[in-house]
Structure 1
C-alpha cells in the first residue's frame, strides 16, 4: 500500500512543528539539592550556567557511542580531531572541542530556530553527542582508517526512531544521520568511504573557498601514496574510488587561485559544478540556493561538506587556509536554510583551528551556528526513509 499524500503531508508538518505539541524541557541542574528557589515554594529549577558543565554540542547529552553498541540515536555528533593533512596552518585537531565550546548558547533559551520554524533540540529526533573518534597523529594512513571505521560503526546502527519504512541505504534500511566535527578537510575522504559502504555513490554539496579536486602531482607533488591524500586532493581520490555520484556534485563559495585553467577541467572530470563566491553579488543568496538545488535535487541522498573558510576571514579567521573575499556568516546561514527539502544524509564541518581565533570565539561560534541550521534541516526532513511502504510501517509519531 502506498503512503497517502495526507500521511506524507502530515509527517512533514509534525517533523517541522513537533515542538509545539508539548512543553519545552528546561535545562536541569546537576543535583537537586544545589538548586535554589527562584520563587518561594516553587521547588527550584536552577540549571547549570551556560558557561559551566562539560561541553557537548548545544549542551545535548553525551553518550560513549563508540564503546557501547546499544546506544541509538537519530542524529549524532562525532568529532574527528585530525589535522596532519593540511598544507598551511595546522590546528584543526582542536576543532571538535572548539566547535562544542562555540555551541554553548544554542540551547540556552530552548533552541527554537525562528527562520526555519522548528526546534531541532525538541522534536521527533533523538540527538546526542558521541564524543570523538580516537585518531592517531603519527600515521595518516592509519588515522584515515580510524575515522572511516569509527564513522561507519555509528552510521550503520539502527536509529532510535522506529522508522520501519524502506530507507535509502543499499540494504533498504533507514539509518541515522551523523554530523562530523573536523578536523582538516582530508577527513571527508574516509567519511565518504563510510557513506559509500552503506549508500553507494552520493551527490556532494561542498562549501569551500578551494576546489579540493587537485591531482596529487599538482597539489603536494605526491612523493608517496600517503602524502598524495591531503586536504586539497581528497575529492580527486573520492572520484577515482567511485564514491561520488557523477555530474551531480557542486562547489559553492570558490575563490581560490589556481595552478592554471586545467584545474577547472580536472574539477569537471570529478563531476563538480562551480559556484564562485563573487556570484553572490549578481544573483544573491536566492540565486546561489537555486543553483545548488537544481544540481543535486531533493530526492537522492546528498552529503554536505562545509569548510569554514567559505566565510571571509573577517568572520572566520581561525582556519587552515584563509582566503579573502568570502561570504558573511549571515549569507552562509541563509544559503544553508535555503537547502530545505534536500535529502541530507550526513554532514561534516572542517578546518576550524581555534588557536587562530579571536578572544570572542568568532569562528567556533560561526561553525556551531551553521551546524544548527543543518541540524534543523535534518529534523524538518524527518527520518531517512522513502515513500512506498504500508501505512502501518510509518513512524508512530508521524502517523495521521
Structure 2
C-alpha cells in the first residue's frame, strides 16, 4: 500500500504550484492531498510512510479516536501461541509502529476523544503515548473547554506549519451517532461536536487524512454511521481546499477563533 500512496502522492497537481496565491506554502501546494476511506485503521501506516518519504520530514498526527492505537503488540515471552511479527501490525498498533519507524513528529501529535483502553485494566496505552510525545484530549474535556477550546489546544500543540496527517476513527463518535464500527464505545462526541472541532482546526497544514473503522454491514436502516462518515469526509476535503485557496490560512480566523456555526 505504501507504493500505491507514493504513486498517487507523486503525481503532479492539476495546477502550477509556482502560480499559487500569496500566502500559500509552496511545499503544501507541491503534492496531491490523499484522503483514505476505511475500513481497518491500519491503512494509516502506509499513508504515513509515503508522506514521510514525500515531505522528507516527520509528520504530525491529529488523531480522533476513542482509543490511543499505540498498543505495542504482543511480546513472544508474554504469549508465544499468538505471537507473530505480522500480528503486531493491526488497527490497535498503527501509531506505535509509525513511531518506531520514525515517521511521527514527536511532541506535535495529538489524540482527541479518548475514553477507553485497548489494554484492559492496564494504562500501557497512555504510557506508550507519553513516550511517543502525544498530547491526550479526553472525551470529557469538551465539557470543560467546549469545542472551541479543544480546537485551540490542538492548533497550539501542532502549529500551522508542520505537515499534518488527520486520522479520524469513526468510533470517536458516540454509538448513538455511529453504531457501525468494530470497537464501539459509549459516551463519545456527537457528530455536530466533531464537525465543529474540525472546522476549528482548518488552519492546520493537513497533507493527508483518513476516515476509518466504518463497517456499513453493522449500520441501521437509516445508515447513520455512513451518513456521519460522509459528512466528515466532506468537511475534511473542503477544509484542505480552503487552505489551498486562501491567502490568510494562518491568520487568527484560521486558528480557530471564529468557528463556523452553520450546524
TM range (shorter): 0.7 to 0.9
Cα distance in 2 for residues equivalent to 1:384 and 1:347: 20
Residue in structure 1 matched with residue 126 of structure 2 by the alignment? 264
Residue in structure 2 matched with residue 376 of structure 1 by the alignment? 238
Task: Name which of 92, 96, 106 aligns with 1:236.
Answer: 96
Residue in structure 2 matched with residue 46 of structure 1 by the alignment? none
Structure 2 unaligned regions, length at least 5: 20-24, 248-263
TM-score (structure 2 length as normaliser)? 0.85
Residue in structure 1 matched with residue 70 of structure 2 by the alignment? 213
Cα distance in 1 for residues equivalent to 2:122 and 2:36: 33
Residue in structure 2 matched with residue 159 of structure 1 by the alignment? 13
**Structure with greater helix share of residues:** 2
Q: CA deviation at 1:377?
A: 0.8
Q: CA deviation at 1:256?
A: 0.5
Runs of 4+ in 1 over 4 A off after TM superposition: none
Q: CA deviation at 1:259?
A: 3.8
Q: CA deviation at 1:152?
A: 1.4
Residue in structure 2 matched with residue 253 of structure 1 by the alignment? 113
Residue in structure 1 matched with residue 60 of structure 2 by the alignment? 203
Cα distance in 2 for residues equivalent to 1:322 and 1:184: 14
TM-score (structure 1 length as normaliser)? 0.56
Cα distance in 2 for residues equivalent to 1:226 and 1:203: 25
Cα distance in 2 for residues equivalent to 1:332 and 1:240: 29
Change (3 A) 1:217 1:205: same
Residue in structure 2 matched with residue 192 of structure 1 by the alignment? 48
Structure 1 unaligned regions, length at least 5: 1-146, 386-400
8 Å CA contact retained: 2:69, 2:125: no
Task: Name which of 198, 218, 229 aligns with 1:356.
Answer: 218
Residue in structure 2 matched with residue 168 of structure 1 by the alignment? 27
Q: Secondary structure at the match of 2:26?
A: coil
Q: Secondary structure at the match of 2:17?
A: coil
Q: Secondary structure at the match of 2:187?
A: coil
8 Å CA contact retained: 1:175, 1:384: no
Q: CA deviation at 1:375?
A: 1.1
Q: CA deviation at 1:167?
A: 3.4
Larger Rg: 1
Residue in structure 2 matched with residue 99 of structure 1 by the alignment? none
